[in-house]
Structure formats: structure tokens, C-alpha cells
């Protein structure tokens, strides 16, 4: 379970990206995080990835307060988190196969298991035939799919995605979303930051809308209210 309690984030330039944010994401749920540019979506993902620390409040994942982790514990924690970046962050001089295999190498998987898992992940994103190519030889959409394969290859317990369908056509976007749902169905907590409201509305999952670092709307709360 992901839990944010009274979380604020103020950067050194004085900008307050998040303000007194309270949010709970139960295990095995899929949540869309929406909002305009600068609403705080990326900052929230960075807090969950422990790239940033909250200025106030507490961020905990699986009951562990992220602020109290040692450097080694942060590395171990990140091995359990799958993350899809908006700008892919692929290593240009490594092949597609090697890029996807990185989390498995770090986690210490056998070579044969690495190969099997990498190919399974590439197969899911439709890039099995490109495993020997390098990221620079791929289109932006294909690079995005390699990033997704890398995020899911280690079968994470939490999957964070920052605009994962930004460079994909609508059909492929739906396929990728379907893949995220498959992971959610087997217990992975998925949080997807996106501004593609059209895509979000098609799935009927929980949607949390941020504005100026605050929760503007939460579909789950609305539903709860309707039930009440």
C-alpha cells in the first residue's frame, strides 16, 4: 500500500510543488494521476521513487517510511519498483535486450532466466524482433515500449509511469494500458501520471486530479460520497 500523509514539497527556489497532500493507494489498484503541467504529478512520482524527499509529511510504501531509508535500502526498494519515464531514459550504447535486462542484472538473476524474462517482456510490448537493435535505431514510440518492458521485467510490486503513452498511437496506448491492467490484476499497485483524459475515461479506474499541488478531485471519494 502507498500512503502519503500531509505531504508537502517545497523546492530550494521556493516553489511549492505539493501542499498538504493526503492519498492512499491500496495494494493491487490502478490509479490515474491527472492534472495540468506543473500540477505536481511528476513531483509525486519522484517522491515515491525516492528521487526527492518530502519537505513535510510522510511518504510510506508497504508500511516503510521512505525518508528513513539508508542508501542501500533505497537501492533495494527501487528494485521492487517499476518505473516508466516520460523521456524513456534508455542507455544508447546498449542493445534493446541489454536495456531491458538491467533490472534483472541488478537483482541477480541467472542468465537463462534473464533471457527468458527479457524476451517475455519484449514480446508483451511487441518488440521481440528488435532485441538486438539499439535505442537510437527505434522510433520514439518503440523507445517508450522498451522503457515499459524494462519497468515490468522484474515484476515489480509497484509500477509508476509518467506519461507512458505520450508517444504512442491510440491503439498501442490502449494495448499498453491493458498491460498495466494485467499487472494490477495480479496484485501490482499501479500509478500512472497522464494528461490524456480521453484515455483515462475509457477504463473506469480511480482518477486523482491534482492542481497546484493539491488534490482537486478524487473519483474514489466521489464514488464513496455517492454510495453514502
Return the C-alpha cell found at 25: 493507494
Q: Which of 227, 215, 187, 170 is nearest to 32 (CA)?
A: 215
30/127 with CB nearer another protein: 30
Rounded CA separation 71/51 (Å): 12
CB of 128 to another protein, least distance (A): 19
Give the whole-angstrom CA distance, residue 206 versus residue 150: 25
Please identify, using beta-carbon distances, which residue of 23 and 190 lies nearer to another protein.
Answer: 190
Q: Which is nearer to another protein, 40 or 82 (CB)?
A: 82
C-beta neighbour count of 55 within 10 angstroms: 13
Asked whether the beta carbons of 161 and 83 are under 8 A apart, the reply is yes
User: C-beta of 82: minimal distance to another protein in Å?
Assistant: 9
**Least distance from C-beta 100 to another protein, angstroms?**
11
Residue placing its CB nearer to another protein in the complex, 34 or 151: 151
Q: For residues 117-138, b (16+ Cβ closer than 10 Å) or e, as one string?
A: bbbebbebbebbebbeebbeeb
Nearer to another protein by Cβ, of 47 and 209: the residue is: 47
Residue 151 C-beta: closest distance to another protein, Å:
9
For the CB of residue 169, give the shortest distance to another protein in the complex, in Å: 26
Residue 208: CA atoms inside 13 Å, Cβ hemisphere, count?
21
Which residues of the chain form contacts with another protein (CB under 8 A)?
26-29, 49, 51, 71-72, 75-81, 83, 89-91, 102-103, 105-110, 113, 150, 154-157, 183, 186-188
Amino acid at each position: 500500500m502507498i500512503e502519503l500523509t500531509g505531504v508537502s514539497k517545497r523546492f530550494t527556489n521556493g516553489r511549492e510543488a505539493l501542499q498538504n497532500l493526503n492519498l492512499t493507494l491500496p495494494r493491487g489498484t490502478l490509479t490515474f494521476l491527472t492534472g495540468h503541467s506543473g500540477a505536481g504529478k511528476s513531483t509525486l512520482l519522484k517522491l515515491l521513487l525516492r528521487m526527492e524527499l518530502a519537505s513535510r509529511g510522510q511518504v510510506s510504501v508497504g508500511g516503510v517510511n521512505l525518508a528513513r531509508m539508508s542508501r542501500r535500502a533505497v537501492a533495494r526498494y527501487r528494485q521492487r519498483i517499476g518505473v516508466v519515464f516520460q523521456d524513456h531514459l534508455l542507455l544508447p550504447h546498449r542493445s534493446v535486450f541489454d536495456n531491458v535486462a538491467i533490472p534483472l542484472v541488478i537483482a541477480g538473476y541467472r542468465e537463462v532466466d534473464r533471457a527468458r524474462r527479457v524476451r517475455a517482456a519484449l514480446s508483451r510490448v511487441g518488440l521481440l524482433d528488435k532485441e538486438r537493435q539499439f535505442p537510437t535505431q527505434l522510433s520514439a514510440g518503440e523507445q517508450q515500449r522498451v522503457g515499459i518492458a524494462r519497468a515490468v521485467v522484474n515484476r515489480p510490486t509497484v509500477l509508476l509511469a509518467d506519461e507512458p503513452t505520450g508517444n504512442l498511437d491510440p491503439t498501442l496506448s490502449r494495448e499498453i494500458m491493458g498491460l498495466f491492467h494485467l499487472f494490477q490484476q495480479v496484485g501490482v499497485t499501479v500509478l500512472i501520471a497522464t494528461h490524456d483524459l480521453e484515455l483515462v475515461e475509457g477504463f473506469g479506474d480511480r482518477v486523482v486530479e491534482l492542481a497546484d499541488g493539491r488534490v482537486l478531485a478524487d473519483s474514489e471519494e466521489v464514488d464513496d460520497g455517492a454510495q453514502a
